């Protein structure tokens, strides 16, 4: 019996994922593009907008992050925004063409005292007809249920990198902590948004390790962000990348293609780092299976292409925004 390469698998081995990375580039991108077309319209791209609802002062020591209290990046810590302001930002995002609105808070974990205020935000954004997403750090099972009840559709909680490189990125929480939060999110009935960051000085094997970890979860991520590190001065990994150089663009495209192959039904998001990517590099990423982006001129604390730039890119590549609620379907 022949196995359809476009059908989701959960039994990938690390060796198999490494072998995908090692395939001839043209063959790899062609296969990823073919699998992508099995589940999605290749001319459609899902658009999300991300707002930092609580900036800076995070107790984590993630080596890439400008918001960590452990590093001097010149970023001032701010309090949690009020719900009215967040909903107003969501209205503007919808008017600008976003179909999903993501709210991010620089916390190690959600505190119960903040849950009611967040529930008001989520319900208000949901009432606008937008999909809702939040990234608030670690969750308990009860907190996940409360967010689901408030109307939260997606919860973002990245694995960041492969398990073998993880201790070089962050030491204030474990890989298992991240997996536990994802389990709480799935159990509450929410969709998961989970990916990682590449270009942090990791090896190709570490990138394969990240995608292997994602592909062997009990359920594949519904959204899978592939972030290119935006190096921030004052962060250990940002300073390292400024010294040693950013990830090779073709290697980044390889990572997107492998993500599409191992998680064929996921929305693979071309996330942080697009501001520094050429139109040609982004086109290769879309060809290789990326079908989601963040719109708006800012991602939490780092720059992102503006509305005009993305409109021009979509026009040049004959792309259009994906309709709200579009899911992967077999052709």
Q: Which residues are catalytic?
A: 58, 62, 65, 102, 133, 193, 269
CA-closest candidate to residue 8, choices 166, 169, 185, 219: 219
CA-closest candidate to residue 136, choices 80, 214, 200: 80
Rounded distance, CA 23 to CA 282, Å? Answer: 21
DSSP character at residue 190: P
User: What pairs with residue 196 in β-bridges?
Assistant: 160, 226
Q: Are 93 and 49 in contact (CB under 8 A)?
A: yes
280-287's contacts with Cβ under 8 Å and 24+ in sequence apart are 281/249, 281/252, 281/253, 282/313, 282/317, 283/317, 284/29, 284/249, 284/253, 285/252, 285/253, 285/256, 286/42, 286/45, 286/317, 286/319, 287/29, 287/33
Q: How many CB atoms are located within 10 Å of the residue 8 CB?
A: 15
């Amino acid at each position: 019996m022949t196995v359809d390469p476009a059908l989701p698998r959960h039994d990938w081995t690390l060796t198999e994922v490494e072998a995908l990375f090692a395939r001839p580039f043209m063959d790899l991108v062609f296969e990823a593009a073919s699998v992508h077309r099995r589940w999605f319209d290749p001319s459609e791209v899902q658009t999300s907008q991300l707002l930092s609802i609580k900036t800076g002062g995070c107790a984590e020591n993630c080596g890439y992050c400008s918001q960590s209290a452990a590093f001097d990046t010149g970023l001032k810590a701010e309090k949690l925004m009020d719900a009215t302001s967040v909903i107003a930002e969501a209205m503007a995002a919808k008017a600008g063409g976003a179909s999903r609105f993501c709210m991010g808070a620089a916390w190690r974990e959600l505190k119960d005292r903040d849950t009611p205020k967040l529930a008001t935000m989520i319900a208000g954004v949901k009432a606008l007809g937008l999909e809702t997403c939040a990234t608030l750090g670690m969750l308990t099972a009860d907190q996940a249920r409360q967010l689901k009840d408030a109307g939260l559709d997606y919860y973002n909680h990245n694995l960041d990198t492969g398990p073998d490189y993880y201790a070089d990125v962050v030491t204030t929480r474990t890989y298992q902590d991240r997996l536990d939060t994802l389990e709480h999110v799935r159990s509450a009935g929410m969709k998961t948004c989970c990916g990682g960051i590449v270009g942090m000085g990791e090896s190709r094997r570490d990138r394969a390790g990240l995608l292997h970890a994602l592909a062997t979860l009990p359920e594949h991520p519904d959204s899978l962000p592939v972030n290119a590190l935006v190096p921030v001065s004052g962060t250990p990994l940002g300073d390292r990348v400024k010294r040693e150089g950013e990830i090779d663009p073709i290697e980044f495209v390889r990572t997107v293609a492998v993500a599409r192959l191992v998680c064929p039904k996921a929305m693979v998001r071309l996330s942080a780092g697009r501001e520094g990517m050429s139109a040609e590099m982004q086109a290769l990423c879309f060809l290789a299976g990326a079908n989601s982006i963040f719109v708006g001129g800012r991602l939490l604390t780092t720059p992102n292409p503006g509305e005009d730039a993305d409109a021009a890119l979509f026009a040049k590549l004959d792309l259009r925004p994906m309709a709200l609620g579009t899911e992967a379907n077999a052709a």
